[in-house]
Amino acid sequence: MAVELNVLALSLLFLLASNAKAQPNNGVFDVMNFGAKAGGKTDISQALMAAWREACALVSPSKVVIPEGEYVLSQVTLAGPCKAPVEVQVRGNLKAPADPSKFNNVPSWVTFQRIDHFTLSGAGTFDGQGGYAAWAQNDCKQSKKCNKLPINIRFNFVTNGLVRDITSVDSKQFHINLLGCKNLTFANITINAPDQSPNTDGIHIGRSSGIDITDSRISTGDDCISLGGGSQNITISRVTCGPGHGISVGSLGKYKDEPVFGINVVNCALINTSNGVRVKTWPASLEGIASDMHFEDIVMVNVSNPVLIDQEYCPSNKCNLKAPSRVKISNVSFKNIRGTSATQVAVKLACSSGIPCENVEIGDINLSYIGTKGPATSQCSNVKPTIAGRQTPLACGLIV
């Protein structure tokens, strides 16, 4: 009988030990417990993926923690589906391999994929270790030969999520890329790269819906936020952008069946950017729709092209400008936009000659040109906007 009791007691001890390992600290999985070491010399990718696997398999909410410190992290994909909500909390400074060849031409560094109810948090940093040696390989506008350099953070088919308080610096390509995501909020995000770093878009959204970006600061060498084909029901608020190329819808028309609608950009500031708020489509494009886009309460400081619809977008000057864009733009408003323009044409609405813009509203524009060529002006083609409130410059040359 005593022997049976001892066997039972040992079995219970093993069971408790097993449960403790599977569910340490109430579902918190610290990568240090999986072999990670701080100091910036040891790759923690295997430790991170091991912690992720256990967290993802847990049937109750869990958290993966990367504590304060400096860490080397090679290419990783943290994929679901998971059995319960999962959070990854990054407190430390993660450094990508500096050599682009270490990524084997696979264009991503950290990927979160097919996860429902996911949170990425913490005051940590994703350092892509870009630099001009890497960016020189990524300037496709100047050379036909360009490598597919890695994006710092990819979100593929992530739903019902929150990304907050993180920082991304010096990505080799885009900083953050969304594909097929739904109901995802970005709050208090910081993005930094030099103004001469090519293709380093801050946040790029494609084929995603229900995305909110708020209370964030983005400084980069391309669009601060770019909304590609299939972007639907997107809200951008209290974002400060600069340097960079502005907040852009597009470029659209390269692919078909990717309608864009429900875009709201409100209460944002653009500082020393090469564009302000703009919608851009390719000439000679495929058919498309871009509708219900609203830009309101925007401050411009020394911004070139503060208000812009450009349906002849052709950065490489290798387009067929004789064939008009076939993207239909409608139900667009620019309201309460104020500040200074670095170019004389402060408002430019260059719509398609084949499919003119419809239902465009301009209200309460107050933009002054800071150069010496004269007062600020506006240009409009293939559009008859509705005009309301104060207009400086006079909208489309009209007296209101």
Type of residue at 155:
F
Q: What is the pLDDT of residue 142?
A: 60
Has residue 111 been placed in a domain?
A: no
Q: Per the structure block, which two tokens stand in for 195?
A: 């103004």
Active site includes 294? no
Residue among 318, 314, 323, 250 nearest 288 (CA): 250
Has residue 194 been placed in a domain?
A: no
Which residues constitute the domain of residue 382?
A: 223-399
- 298 vs 334: CA distance, rounded Å: 9
Has residue 82 been placed in a domain?
A: no
Which of 175, 204, 245, 294 is catalytic? The answer is: 245
Has residue 192 been placed in a domain?
A: no
Has residue 231 been placed in a domain?
A: yes
Q: What is the pLDDT of residue 144?
A: 58
Q: What is the pLDDT of residue 21?
A: 43
Has residue 64 been placed in a domain?
A: no
SS (H, E, C) the chain: CHHHHHHHHHHHHHHHHHHHHHCHHHCEEEHHHHCCCCCCCCECHHHHHHHHHHHHHCCCCEEEEECCCEEECCCEEEECCCCCCEEEEECCEEECCCCHHHHCCCCEEEEEECCEEEEEECCCEEECCCCHHHHCCCCCCCCCCCCCCCEEEEEECCEEEEEECCEEECCCCCCEEEECCEEEEEECCEEECCCCCCCCCCEEEECCEEEEEEEEEEECCCCCEEECCCCEEEEEEEEEECCCCCEEEEEECCCCCCCEEEEEEEEEEEECCCCCEEEEECCCCCCEEEEEEEEEEEEEEEECCCEEEECCCCCCCCCCCCCCCCEEEEEEEEEEEEEEECCCEEEEEECCCCCCCEEEEEEEEEEEECCCCCCCEEEEECCCCEEEEEEECCHHHCCC
Chunked into runs of 10 residues, the chain (400 residues) has average pLDDT values of 44 42 73 96 97 98 98 98 98 96 88 98 97 79 69 98 98 97 98 95 98 98 97 98 98 94 98 98 95 98 98 85 93 98 97 97 97 94 94 74
| C-beta contacts of 23-29 below 8 A and 24+ residues apart | 23/58, 23/60, 27/55, 27/58, 27/60, 27/61, 27/62, 27/63, 28/62, 28/63, 28/65, 29/54, 29/55, 29/62, 29/63, 29/64, 29/65
Q: Distance from first CA to last CA of the chain, Å, rounded?
A: 100
Q: What is the pLDDT of residue 143?
A: 60
Has residue 264 been placed in a domain?
A: yes
Has residue 33 been placed in a domain?
A: no
Report the CATH number that the domain containing residue 358 is assigned in CATH. 2.160.20.10
Q: How many CA atoms lie within 13 A of 356 on its CB side?
A: 9
What total number of domains does the chain contain?
A: 1
